Amino acid sequence: MVKVKICGITNFEDALASCEYGADAIGFIFHRKSQRFVEPETAREIVKAIPPFVTTVGVFVDEDASKINEIVKTVGLQVVQLHGNESPEFCENIQSKIVKTFRIKGARVIGIGTGEQGVNKEMKRYNVSAYLLDTYKEGVEGGTGVTFNWGIARDATKAGKIVLAGGLTAENVKQAIKIVMPYAVDVSSGVEEIPGKKDLKKVMEFIEMAKGIQ
């Protein structure tokens, strides 16, 4: 069964409800330019309150490796999601499991390496636990609310575990999973009232739809 990550968590209510509804992971964004930014101290208190078998993920964008490792330890995170232009060599300095994000425009990865690379070719440069594929949108680091060609993600599953993101909602997640067959799906803006505050009915419906596929 596909795993579900609810990202952009900023408060106790959204975190606990996501866990209650069956989320496998919750994500905290530590990029200050994000509308869903959360202070490490707040995230730490939320992590203490959630069930023990829900994975906690920290999302970082071009942050210093030492700062990432410090926040991982302070908050009690289990996984680091790198959402910027981090190199394969940079990943070796992170003291945690890593999910590396690749932003897709057309059939290319944008913003990593030389700027534009084929998806599978670029992914294979990284020795990480999983690869997250998201939609490229100028000036937006995540939570775009826009989908990309899921056929690209389906092909990318040959390279390793794929976490599918980008414009997913309760209305389209079932189709996305059937096409891509990803390891996990990741949603943020698709289950929000406003950036940083979840619509709990949408969270519940999203998880039900994602996990209802046999």
Cβ-contact 166, 176 below 8 angstroms: no
Structure tokens at 138: 């100028």
Contact 69, 95 (CB under 8 A): yes
Average pLDDT of every residue of the chain: 91
User: To which residue do tokens 């992590």 refer?
Assistant: 47
Give percent above pLDDT 90 in the chain.
79
> Which are the catalytic amino acids?
7, 134
Condensed to tens digits (0 to 9), the pLDDT of residues 29-75 reads 999 999 999 999 999 999 999 999 999 999 999 999 999 999 999 99
Domain boundaries, given as residue ranges, for the chain: 3-211
The gap from C-alpha 17 to its chain's centroid, in whole angstroms, comes to 18
Coil/strand/helix, residue 57? strand
Render pLDDT for 125-183 as a digit per residue (tens, 0 to 9). Answer: 999 999 999 998 665 555 556 898 999 999 999 889 999 999 999 999 999 999 999 99
> Is 3-211 CATH 3.40.1160.10?
no
Residue 214: pLDDT band (50, 70, 90) is: very low
> What are all long-range contacts of 174-181, with beta carbons under 8 Å and residues at least 24 apart?
174/209, 174/210, 174/212, 174/213, 176/147, 176/150, 177/2, 177/210, 177/213, 178/213, 179/150, 179/151, 179/153, 179/154, 180/150, 180/153, 180/154, 181/154, 181/157
Residue 144 pLDDT: 58
